[in-house]
Amino acid sequence: MLSRTAANLFWMGRHLERAETAARLLDVGERITLLPNTPEGYRNEWESLLRASGAQAAFAERYGEQINQENIVSWLFFDQDNPSSVTSCIERAREGGRIVRTALTSQVWDALNTAYQELRALTRRPRGQLDTPMLTDFTTRHGSTVRGAINATQLRNDGWHFINLGYSLERADATARLLDVKYFVLLPRVEFVGSGLDNYQWQVILRALSAHRAFHWAYGGDVTAAKVADFLILNGESPRSLLTSLYEAVWHLDGLVKRYGETVQASASAKARQTLDSLMARDIEAIFDEGLHEFLSWFINEVAGVSTAVHEDYLSGRM
Amino acid sequence: MTMYYNEMVDDGRVRAPYAMLSDWIETMPAEIRQMKQAEAEALFRRIGITFAVYGEGGDPDRLIPFDMMPRVFLQGEWRKLERGIKQRARALNAFLRDVYGRGEIIRAGRVPARLVYQNAAYEKAVVGFVPPRGVFSHIVGIDIVRTGRDEFFVLEDNCRTPSGVSYMLENREIMMRMFPALFRHNRIEPVDQYSELLRRTLASVAPAKCDGAPTIVILTPGHYNSAYYEHSFLANLMGVELVEGSDLFVDGGFVYMRTTQGPKRVDVIYRRIDDPFLDPLCFRRDSMLGVPGLMDVYRSGGVSIASAPGAGVADDKAVYTYVPEMIRFYLGEEPLLQNVQTWALWKDEDYRYVMANLKELVVKEVHGSGGYGMLIGPRASPEEIARFRSLIEKNPGNYIAQPTLALSTSPTFVEEGIAPRHVDLRPFCLCGDRIELVPGGLTRVALREGSLVVNSSQGGGVKDTWVLSE
């Protein structure tokens, strides 16, 4: 497979997952604003979204001090100046898909292209007609259709591994960042920890990850910080947990190593496995002792390292 | 008023090939037709066959209008065309072999040396080189117009990288999907073997140094090119990689592509980029599209390029006038397909005639394409004619003129129902160890009433083209 083709497939997977992340961030923000208010008002929560997506500076450049719902929705969904907005991600995923059209089945292309065409129709409608839940639904629905087409129709070859590697690394990164939103929300008022408000916020996180029902099936009983964090970080059944996401990345990297044999450098596979081992050696108490934010920062950094190694091993086109 | 040959009607009666279509039209209510038309458009858009016109801006995903009414040829009509097309493709390749070799046709005084050796498309870099099987142009697109029941003329040859074959294939797919009954009740020759024939043709011209099954790639300028869809479509059908210049590199006398498993040798390049961009070391230094060193590998037999660099010297509008001579000279045959009468503005006698009759004639640039840079006398305003007159005066060698052809019409769906619209035809002839032609081609239709310009950049559409079997 051409290195450029592999790179496009990898980034197509990443952008598709990232579009969903942007939509989930919107959903988290929307629900946090429905909470009985914190003394700082909702500005604080919206700001936490920007911090979690690492976009404070870029947002300020575009909208100044106006951190309000309307601007945030524009930024996270519509704004083409934001490389992580839903619109940017779907456009890039579709552009990448168009470039490697030959590596996709017609069903996958159809699903991807339909998402893009409908997005274009959506952006032409007056903003007043578009509420946040609708935008979130739009994104997750199309995301699921594309993913379903990939799983149902793509050959299980190296291209499939690259797409899924993109998905899983992006998902690992995204769950970590969504968890970090929680950290930023709570940071100013440590005394909230363990309060009713705190628990409600954890539930919001679960809901944003489409995991609130799954959580109850898996754990039962009260929502506590330890249980939710365990579910989203260390639970191997939870589809978006850090462990599951990383495990899938390792699985796809192993698939590439098996397929390509020993002549092709495999630093990404080694790095991913090392991170996975290190993750599995922890329990939730250890993570809280270490500090959730510190742990998440470590993890995000490790995932970025794996991604760099994927580029070096496969996508850079060594001569 | 000029009389146009209507392919559907002859002596006031519906011609046999269109008889069953005329029933089909009559029994199709207007609402169904509109619904089907919308369905076809949605299919095209979903498949992603769109067409961007350079520099026009606007919708980057524009569709070429698709007309559901097919254009039909009888078996007998097609066989005659087929022989003529293959004859022409053989002669064009013989000419290319000759002008990059001993130049016999020029020594014999049958083609002027200036037209060949001073032609911008003549590549000195391939002089003396004989590509595998002596083929320079592997895909020859020959534009044909019809003016009467048995009158066909060649309007233009395309020896470099003719495009449009994806429309031939997709138009058929869409027609079969939407109107399966038409195909069950008529014996329509298939065209979908084209991609397999193309792959075989390319494999048959693998270079001498290739051992084993040749690795074929399609070289595209990239996804901003208006024909990118076609490039990826063909790569997909043939199961070969679609590469850009940056995916290829030269090392030790061979061309390689960069893959996830390291370098992989490439044997045959079906290039869809123009000569000047192929190799910055040999042609344009500022080209970012090509592969440095490619031409050295080509000349030393390490890789094949289809069509060969320099193939364009056979297809400009000045050399065109000599194709009948080529057929006689190389094949010892009489041309089966006629050229359109052409006046060369660099000849005094022709110049005088053309300048006196601009209002009646079509004037074209020798190197122009796509319906740009041309004057259609009978439809031009006095100002346009005056403007062209001064252009010609400045550089007569840059122009040819032809009579305004009475292009045949084919029934076409329009707002009010069915109406005759002017059409042309581009079949795609493949040249490798054998010469192959699938029964069909791309029919382009001028959708505007009375218009004779079929180019998609100027309001043209496309139709499925049927050849009925016996």
Same domain, B242 and B191: no
Same-domain pairing of B462 and B421: yes
Domain boundary among B371, B388, B403: B403
Residues B26 and B152 in one domain: yes
Encode B231-275 in three state secondary structure: HHHHHHHHCCEEECHHHEEEECCEEEEEECCEEEEECEEEECCCH
A309 in B contact zone (CB under 8 Å): no
Distance of CA A204 to the CA centre of its chain: 16
| Assigned domain for B3 exists | no
Q: Distance (Å, rounded) from C-alpha B30 to C-alpha B413?
A: 11
Domains of chain A: total: 1
Q: Please tell me the distance from the alpha carbon of residue B343 to that of residue B355, in angstroms, as a whole number.
A: 11
Give dist(CA A157, CA B195) in Å, integer: 23
The ipTM assigned to this model is 0.80
Contacts of A99 in chain B (CB under 8 A): 223
Q: Are residues B216 and B245 in the same domain?
A: yes
Query: Are B456 and B50 spatial neighbours (Cβ–Cβ below 8 Å)?
Result: no
How many domains, in total, are found in chain B? 3
The alpha carbon of residue A253 is apart from the nearest alpha carbon of chain B, in Å, by 13
pLDDT in tens, B333-383: 999 999 999 998 988 999 999 999 999 999 988 876 555 678 888 888 999
Nearest CA in chain A to B225: A99
Helices in B272-421 by DSSP H: which ranges?
Answer: 294-299, 323-326, 348-356, 382-394
Residue A213 in contact with partner chain B when CB distance is under 8 A: no
Is B412 part of any domain?
Answer: yes
Do B218 and B253 lie in a common domain?
yes
Which residues in chain B have their CB less than 8 angstroms from residue A158's CB?
260
Quote the minimal CA–CA distance from A180 to chain B in Å: 35
Across the interface, whether the CB atoms of A113 and B46 are under 8 A apart is answered: yes
Does residue B422 contact residue B407 with C-beta atoms inside 8 Å? yes
- The SS3 of residue A253 is helix
- pLDDT tens readout for residues A158-184: 999 999 999 999 999 999 988 877 666
Q: Is B322 helix (H, G, I), strand (E, B) or coil?
A: helix
- B44 with B182, same domain: the answer is yes
pLDDT in tens, A122-145: 988 888 888 888 999 999 999 999
Last residue of a domain, one of B302, B318, B349: B302
Which two structure tokens, joined as six digits, stand for A204?
């919001």
Please list the residues that pair with B263 across neighbouring strands.
Answer: B258
- Count of CA atoms in the C-beta half-sphere (13 A) of B312: 20
**Are B115 and B200 members of one domain?**
yes
Our CA-based measurement puts residue B243 at a distance from the nearest CA of chain A, in whole angstroms, of 8
Check: CB of residue B291 under 8 Å from CB of residue B255: yes
pLDDT along chain B (470 residues), means of 10: 79 81 83 86 72 46 83 94 98 98 96 93 94 97 93 94 91 90 90 96 95 95 87 91 95 96 96 91 80 94 96 91 96 96 91 93 78 79 91 90 90 86 96 96 91 78 92
Look up the domain containing B278 and give its range: 208-302
Q: Which domain holds residue A96?
A: 3-315
B411, B70 contact by CB (below 8 A): no
Asked if B257 contacts B243 with a C-beta cutoff of 8 angstroms, the reply is yes
Cβ within 8 Å, pair A2-B263: no
Tens of pLDDT, residue by residue over A79-125, are 998 999 999 999 999 999 988 988 898 899 989 999 998 999 998 88
Q: Give pTM, 2 decimals.
A: 0.86
In angstroms, the separation between the Cα of residue B253 and the nearest Cα of chain A is 15
Inter-chain CB proximity A102 and B236 less than 8 Å: yes
Same domain, B66 and B159: yes
CB-side neighbour CA atoms (13 Å) of B149? 7
Total residues found in chain B within this entry: 470
Same domain, B14 and B140: yes
Q: Does any CB of chain B come closer than 8 Å to the CB of residue A199?
A: no
Test B261 with A263 for CB contact under 8 angstroms. Answer: yes
* Residues in chain B within 8 Å Cβ distance of A315: 260
Tokens of A84: 């992580």
Q: What is the CATH number of the domain that holds B270?
A: 3.40.50.11290
Q: Please tell me whether residues B307 and B350 are part of one structural domain.
A: no
Choose among B171, B178, B172, B182: nearest CA to B66: B171
Residues B284 and B352 occupy one common structural domain: no
Q: How many Cβ pairs within 8 Å bridge chains A and B?
A: 68
Note the pLDDT tens digit of each residue in A13-39.
Answer: 999 999 998 898 888 777 777 766 555
Same domain, B263 and B307: no
